[in-house]
A and B are shown apart, each in its own frame.
Chain A
Amino acid sequence: MSDKILEIKDLVVHYITDKTTVKAVNGISLSLERGESLGLVGETGAGKTTTALSVMQLIPDPPGKIMSGEILYEGQDLVSMEPTQKREIRGNHISMIFQDPMTALNPVLSVGDQIAEVVRLHQKISRAQASIKAQEMLELVGIPGERYAEYPHQFSGGMKQRVVIAIALACNPKLLIADEPTTALDVTIQDQVLDLIEKLMREFGTSLLLITHDLGVVAEICQKAAIMYAGEIVEYGTLKHIYEKTAHPYTVGLFGSVPNLTVDVDRLNPIKGLMPDPTDLPIGCPFAPRCPDVMPRCVASPVPVTEVESGHYVKCVKFLRSEAER
């Protein structure tokens, strides 16, 4: 096998109810190498969390359904795996940090017990050994081991997120999925938590799939970024590609709406309009109705992906090379 730890190929996830079908993820492909970190950026409803839950195989079914595509973890397809095998992988090989630390911890179990529980689920060790391991994990994320027996409500938000990180990393997973790990925290704590994630990643050699809507966070700890829009990846490349050689009009728009410290402007420059209704997506480019550079070709038929330079992929008509494709 190559050194790819995670490879998603043409993943399509729909939420099907009696009345409508929400097309949350529409054929995304991405890959993540060992020790690498990838930022998945997009606005609310772009399908970021659905992608993450698909990797964990935790899409609520019904109504969610993986329609097609493969999710390869170290070459094994997670989608077709047996439930017991999936459980073996969750928490042990792939683990997840949730968005809101306030609700991601069980209020009636002490934090130490919650860390020890994961360890005991995946490693055949005694209760006492597991609690030592849990204590070590607490210390590792900067919480004194004496607070083992305390309950989640006795911790602040930032501390809780540290506990959540300790739970996620307790079994040395090879892949960590962080679903907006800093959204619920204030800026100083955000920075501490990001530093901690980065430090632990380096220590354990963990790969990271970071989901966020904050381009600054991606710039801080990721090597690659994928920009999602309406269930599609519209631009994908290294940080350099995305931040310096921005290609897709949506990405350009995202950067345009971030305040710039060096230029004095009165108003921010938002992208006009709203994301298309995921129950009724257009045939062509979903961004076409809001795009400043829209062409007749955009709305006519689906837009293929172009590799504008090595490792930098864009899904936009502007970059199609041959006239024939246009």
Chain B
Amino acid sequence: MSEKETTAVTMKKRGQFKDIRRRFAKNKGAILGLGFIVILVVCALIPSVIAPYGFDDQQLSRRFQSPSWNHLFGTDEYGRDIFSRVVYGCRISLTLGLVSVTISCVLGIILGCISGYYGKVVDNVIMRIIDIMLSIPNILLAVSIVAALGTSFFNLMLAIGIGAVPGYARVVRASILSVKEQEYIEAARSNGASDWRIITRHIIPNCMAPIIVQATMSIASAVLSAAGMSFIGLGIMPPTPEWGSMLASGRAYIRDYWYVVTFPGLAIMLTVFSINLLGDGLRDALDPRLKS
């Protein structure tokens, strides 16, 4: 009995994980994305080992040096090493992107599920609130949240996260509306499943594709909105290196010293790109229907 028990469970586990891994490994783009993200995570974990200088080592005598072996990405207006600042910035920007996206994802999925599944009055109330939120410009919403709660890193992430909730709620609601009419949902109900179980086990897994796409896309906009917030002084305070604020402060010198904005910009772009690749790969690998 126990032997059979273990075989049944391991068979199932191995079957699923092996398949997902195999399908993921086949996707070259996803592997590339994963590789770059691993590098970023390493940078975020041990920046002091990788960066040759500190993030706030100022030396005015070597300001605006162009990229060389000493300063890979050059130096900025205070003579700080841009490469080191980009490496240190990893931690802030990655945390910011992931946490704010998680906040908006979770809130958006909850709201979207409730309004899509229960419909009627609940749906109307939630969607009208969402409409109101959509009518407020994102940056204004974030500014008011930070202004109300006070300037801190967490409040910044919260503000950016809340601003992105309406997008998720609408995407989730739309896909739930189509999934909940499927016969297997009725079948699950005929088997005695509760609403909670139907939502978590049958509906959400079937709506994952648009959610993953939305999540990977919005990490980028989260990093950029944080830059905007830093720019008006409600976000990350200098000298903390954050890619968005590095872009904002280097903006004034873009005409003469291209490298001041290029490298932080490239970092954002590559991060977003690799997260998108990873997200696409995950979506395909997790969808059993695409198994070949």
Interface residues of A (CB under 8 A from B): 56, 58, 87-92, 95-96, 98, 100, 103-110, 112-113, 117-118, 121-122, 127-129, 131-132, 135, 146, 148-149, 151, 153-154, 164, 167
Contact = CB atoms under 8 A, between A and B. Distances in A.
5 cross-chain pairs, A with B, having the tightest CB-CB distances, nearest first: A149-B15, A91-B191, A91-B192, A90-B192, A103-B183
A128 B187 contact: no
Contacts, number: 101
Interface string B280-292: 0000000111010
B9 A117 contact: no
Given A98-B190, A135-B8, A151-B289, 19 more contacts: A58-B190, A87-B193, A96-B190, A103-B182, A104-B183, A105-B187, A106-B184, A106-B188, A108-B289, A109-B202, A113-B12, A117-B191, A118-B192, A132-B8, A148-B11, A148-B12, A149-B16, A151-B288, A164-B187
A87 B194 contact: yes
Contacts of B194: 87
Contact of B4 (A110, A127, A132, A164): A132
5 contacts: A56-B190, A90-B190, A91-B193, A107-B288, A131-B9
A98 B185 CA distance: 11
Nearest to A105: B184
Contacts of A58: 186, 189-190
B15 to A, nearest CB: 3
Nearest to B205: A108
A121 B193 contact: yes
A128 B10 CA distance: 10
Select the residue from A56, A95, A106 with max chain B CB neighbours within 10 A: A106
A117 B11 contact: no
A100 B188 CA distance: 14
A121 B9 contact: no
Contacts of A121: 191-193, 197
B191 A167 contact: yes
Dominant secondary structure of chain A at its interface with chain B: helix
A127 B5 CA distance: 10
Contacts of B27: none
Nearest to A146: B11
Interface in B167-209: 182-184, 186-194, 197, 201-202, 205-206
Select the residue from A58, A90, A108, A167 with max chain B CB neighbours within 10 A: A108
A98 B8 contact: no
Contacts of A122: 192
B135 interface: no
A46 to B, nearest CB: 20
A115 to B, nearest CB: 10
Contact of A149 (B4, B12, B182, B201): B12
Given A58-B189, A87-B194, A106 B291 contact: no
